[in-house]
Structures are given as structure tokens and as C-alpha cells.
């Protein structure tokens, strides 16, 4: 039912005078029918329906055959029912039963009412055996109020606040990601090699065979300030050397890297910089190599979203000498 539904149950027993004196003096009877309410009359569709059809519209509401509707939607005349339909619309009252009337209200208006023989208990689970008893149960509105009152516990409040906060943060994070989704993170970088030599030395970290070891210093100039926005936390820069050898179609070696945090100086102008990592070849492919490409790339580390790998606009190609150097570098 809707939120303003109120269920009023009136349980009426002998002292209320509703028990019908049956034709057989050894038994007492109660009215046994369901009045469909003021919105139905003798022409309504439910006049040929069953209780099962009616209760589909209101789960939990009792219903008893026969279904009754008055000509003008007013309460039915129980005297008329007793006179003309006593056998159909009454029930025999057992020793533990009472005559009960179950009436449904919505917005203060009567919706329907059911008369029946039934066992009855009050809200304390005490059986009602004499006297008149009426009890009003809270509807879905009252039950909702009970749920709200239970929510006011400390743990429930904390849980509700935390859930709401996380939901809002998730939405804001997604919007933050969308706001920078189409930003172009490319920019130019100028690179140059200053000193380039190659040695043939044992690689003690591997098989101890003699492999080529390149050594170079480089210049780097680029302005990465325009890459920062409110969704960029930091940049991870790395300088790579790419070349082709007879044994490998593609060789990539990271020679240098740097992390630039938001707020730090992103204008880079390095002169004669040493590489941070060794330039090893897994053989003798560096000596005399005339096409090694130096390129700068960076990862955008966002507050939320993807981690794109962006290559700089601009590369530098250089050659290794055809002779190994014997000097200390």
C-alpha cells in the first residue's frame, strides 16, 4: 500500500452485540464477507472475481467470500445480508474464535472492510477472548519512521555518511577524468649528443662475455609546464635509445629518467648530462653503428584516469665510432 496507509482492526465479540443468534440455538455465527469499499458498486469488475483476484492488489489484506458491493458505494446493510444471505455470508463461531472486522483506511478514507471468524491476539501476543478490542497498526509510513529512527544509531549514521561521501567522491573523480580526457599532452623536445664512445668489456652481471658498452653525454631542452593541469599529479620522463642489429630487429635501452612533481620546475635545459643507466648491448652491435635514435617520452600520472605514454615531438640520431676506446670514461 502507499505510505499513508493505516490499518484499523476492530475485533468484536459477544459483549459488542455483533454475534448473530443462529437458527440453531447451539451455535453462534459471525458475518463472513468482504466489502470492496466505496469505489465499487454492483457494476464493478470485481463482482465476479474471487478473493484471490482482489488480494493481488493489496498483499496481506484479509479477504473473505462472498465479495459485497452496495448500490451507491455506502457501507452494506448487515441486516439485509442476514435476512437474504445468512448461509453464504456468515460463519460458525468456534470456541476460541471471535467476530472480527478488519477495515483498511487510506488518507483517512475507508478502502474496504472484511468481516470474519478468527482467532485474535493483541500487540502483546495475548489472546482476546471477551470484550471489544480495537487496535490501529502503523502502515508503511510508520514502518518507514521506525527504520529512520533505527538509522540514528552512531554506526548507521557513520556508514550512511561514509557511503554518501564515497559516492560523491567517485562522481567528482570521474568528472575530473572526463574534463582532461581530450587534452593534448605532446610537446617538443630538443636533444643532442656531446660525447659518444664505445668499449668492449666483460659483462659481469650476465655471462662474463665481452659485450659492447656505449657511453655518451647529451643535451636536453624542453618545457613541460603546459602538461600540468588539475588532474596531473606528476610526470615520469625517460630517455631511450633505439637501434637495430642483425640479431634483433628492435633494441630499446633506457638511459635516463626523471620524475617531475606538480609545482616543481618543468623547464628542462640540461647540458652535457651523463646517462643514469649503462648502455649495454647483448653482443657487439654498438661498434660502428650509424643509426641510433635518441627519444624522450613521458607517462602522465593523473589523480584519476588513464596513464598515457606520450612521445616527445623531436628525436636525435647519432653514430657510434668504428673503433673501441681504450681510455677510461
DSSP string, 111-123: EEEEEEEE--B-T
Same domain for 240 and 142: no
Residue corresponding to grid cell 472475481: 49
Same domain for 216 and 301: yes
* 153 part of a folded domain: no
What's the CA gap between 280 and 252, in Å, rounded? 10
* 236 part of a folded domain: yes
Domain boundary among 86, 119, 148: 148
Q: What is the tally of structural domains in the chain? A: 2
- Is the full-model pTM beyond 0.85? no
Set of cell numbers at residue 141: 509510513
The helix/strand/coil state of 14 is helix
Residue corresponding to grid cell 627519444: 295
* 101 part of a folded domain: yes
Residue corresponding to grid cell 460458525: 92
* 324 part of a folded domain: no
pLDDT of residue 130: 61
Same domain for 100 and 15: yes
* 166 part of a folded domain: no
Its sign, for the CA torsion 270, 273, 278, 282, is positive
pLDDT of residue 146: 31
pLDDT of residue 99: 82
Q: Using CA atoms of 127, 128, 134, 135 in order, give the dihedral in degrees to the nearest 10.
A: 0
pLDDT of residue 56: 58
pLDDT along the chain (329 residues), means of 10: 36 38 60 83 65 63 82 81 83 81 80 83 70 52 33 72 93 87 90 92 76 93 92 94 90 95 93 93 88 94 89 93 83
Task: Give Cα separations from 264 to 78, 180, 215, 226, 322 (angstroms).
Answer: 90, 21, 29, 13, 41
What's the CA gap between 80 and 64, in Å, rounded? 18
* 235 part of a folded domain: yes
Same domain for 134 and 207: no
The helix/strand/coil state of 193 is strand
Task: Give Cα separations from 240 to 38, 44, 256, 260, 269 (angstroms).
Answer: 86, 85, 7, 18, 18
Same domain for 25 and 129: yes
CA angle 60, 65, 71 (to 5 degrees): 105
Same domain for 195 and 123: no
Non-local CB neighbours of 95 within 8 Å, separated by 6+ positions:
none
Question: Taking a C-beta distance cutoff of 8 angstroms, is the pair 105, 98 a contact?
Answer: no
**Beta-carbon count within 10 A of 191 CB:** 21
Please state the length of the chain: 329
* 179 part of a folded domain: no
pLDDT of residue 149: 37
Set of cell numbers at residue 168: 560523491
Same domain for 141 and 35: yes
pLDDT of residue 22: 44
Same domain for 210 and 139: no
Same domain for 209 and 137: no
Same domain for 309 and 240: yes
Same domain for 115 and 30: yes
Same domain for 196 and 309: yes
Helix, strand, coil share of the chain (percent; to 5): 20, 40, 40
Domain boundary among 115, 148, 181: 148
Range of the domain at 127: 5-148
The runs of H, that is alpha helices, within the chain are: 51-55, 78-85, 140-151, 154-179
251: domain CATH number is: 2.60.40
CA-wise closest residue to 102 among 31, 167, 201, 45: 31
* 158 part of a folded domain: no
CA-wise closest residue to 193 among 271, 253, 276, 251: 271
Its sign, for the CA torsion 273, 277, 278, 279, is negative
Domain boundary among 148, 177, 212: 148
Amino acid at each position: 500500500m502507499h505510505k499513508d496507509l493505516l490499518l484499523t482492526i476492530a475485533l468484536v465479540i459477544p459483549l459488542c452485540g455483533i454475534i448473530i443468534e443462529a437458527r440453531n440455538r447451539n451455535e453462534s455465527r459471525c458475518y463472513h464477507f468482504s466489502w470492496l469499499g466505496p469505489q465499487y458498486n454492483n457494476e464493478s469488475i470485481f463482482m465476479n472475481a474471487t478473493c484471490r483476484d482482489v488480494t493481488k492488489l493489496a498483499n496481506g489484506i484479509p479477504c473473505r467470500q462472498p465479495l459485497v458491493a452496495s448500490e451507491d458505494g455506502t457501507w452494506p446493510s448487515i441486516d439485509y445480508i442476514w435476512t437474504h444471505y445468512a448461509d453464504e455470508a456468515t460463519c460458525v463461531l468456534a470456541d476460541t474464535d471471535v467476530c472480527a472486522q478488519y477495515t483498511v483506511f487510506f488518507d483517512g478514507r475507508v478502502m474496504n472492510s472484511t468481516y470474519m471468524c478468527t482467532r485474535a491476539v493483541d500487540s502483546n501476543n495475548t489472546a482476546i477472548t471477551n470484550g471489544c478490542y480495537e487496535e490501529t497498526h502503523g502502515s508503511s509510513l510508520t514502518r518507514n519512521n521506525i527504520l529512520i529512527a533505527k538509522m540514528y544509531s552512531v554506526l548507521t549514521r557513520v556508514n550512511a555518511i561514509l557511503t554518501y561521501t564515497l559516492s560523491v567522491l567517485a562522481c567528482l573523480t570521474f568528472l575530473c577524468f572526463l574534463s582532461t580526457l581530450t587534452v593534448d599532452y605532446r610537446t617538443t623536445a630538443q636533444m643532442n649528443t656531446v660525447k659518444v664512445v664505445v668499449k668492449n668489456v666483460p659483462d659481469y652481471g650476465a655471462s662474463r662475455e665481452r659485450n659492447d658498452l656505449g657511453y655518451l653525454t647529451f643535451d636536453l631542452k624542453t618545457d613541460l609546464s603546459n602538461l600540468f593541469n588539475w588532474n596531473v599529479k606528476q610526470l615520469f620522463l625517460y630517455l631511450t635509445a633505439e637501434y637495430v642489429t642483425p640479431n634483433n630487429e628492435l633494441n630499446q635501452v633506457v638511459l635516463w629518467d626523471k620524475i617531475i612533481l606538480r609545482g616543481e620546475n618543468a623547464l628542462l635545459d640540461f647540458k652535457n648530462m651523463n646517462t643514469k643507466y649503462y648502455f649495454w648491448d647483448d653482443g657487439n652491435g654498438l661498434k660502428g653503428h650509424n643509426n641510433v635514435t635518441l627519444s624522450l617520452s613521458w607517462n602522465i600520472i593523473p589523480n584519476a584516469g588513464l596513464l598515457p605514454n606520450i612521445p616527445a615531438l623531436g628525436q636525435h640520431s647519432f653514430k657510434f665510432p668504428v673503433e673501441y676506446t681504450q681510455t677510461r670514461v
